[in-house]
Structure 1
């Protein structure tokens, strides 16, 4: 499998997560911003959609960070001696593949916050969900930006 094929495979996975994230966001849009009381009163179906939102946000951010962004560096031949993830992010920002390394780190931190469960604190849960709901737009924009940036490199490699 060549670099373009590998990148396209990673992109397809990211687009699948993005599509499902969009669906969850659209389905939940009437509930946001979410208060702690509203969170406790959500139906089982709405809670399942909240779970879908969390999973897809996390999976999209993770897939982009683990596969797609390193794939951009491979496509552009910019991978060089980039030992740390922040080095890679800074290179991606410098070449225009992402808008901001700091913004990407905030998205990663949001994903990491989902790993901590606060089942007995609806205030913290609602706050995290509200923050993530509004940051999800940044995540989806980052995916679109990477797609647009990488398009000429993908076409050259066909």
Structure 2
């Protein structure tokens, strides 16, 4: 990955992060959300929930597909990383991400969002509450990766 390609991946991640932060700030007064609170959300609030879910998922995807592998290329890390968990473990070891296991939680949350639970507000509320907490960590992981990669981009 060239530096320009890496910078492009970083720009995409920053755009998703900015919109995720906006959705979080808009929704945080409603949290922790209950099943009853979910039922009381306005159409606009539901649209912000959709934005939150979409941006969390897109940020996690963009970081996993482009940014994190790009960091390994930038640092010229030796060795072969045949699986994504191998990449995550190496990224954690070199200090590019705080935690490989936490990254797996982000991915699991993104996967949970792909399922729709229209008839189970308990599950919906639980997922949103957990996602709000994880979103703070996802954003912190992005900031950590940005700071780490800056040493190799100058």
CA drift of 1:80 comes to: 2.9
TM-score under structure 1 length normalisation = 0.96
Aligned counterpart, 1:53: 52
Q: Distance in 2 between matches of 1:131 and 1:79?
A: 36
Superposed, 1:5-154 pairs within 5 Å as 5-78=4-77, 80-154=79-153
TM-score under structure 2 length normalisation = 0.98
CA drift of 1:52 comes to: 0.1
- The alignment's C-alpha RMSD in Å is 0.8
CA drift of 1:127 comes to: 0.3
Unaligned runs of 5+ in 2: none
Q: Deviations over 1:44-90 (max 9, x none)?
A: 00000000000000000010000000000000001631000000000
Q: Distance in 2 between matches of 1:152 and 1:97?
A: 11
CA drift of 1:125 comes to: 0.3
Secondary structure of 2:79's partner? coil
Q: Distance in 2 between matches of 1:39 and 1:94?
A: 40
CA drift of 1:129 comes to: 0.3
CA drift of 1:152 comes to: 1.3
Which segment drifts farther, 55-64 or 71-80?
A: 71-80
Distance 1:79 1:59, change over 3 A: farther
| Count of residues in Structure 1 that have an aligned counterpart in Structure 2 | 154
Unaligned runs of 5+ in 1: none
CA drift of 1:29 comes to: 1.1
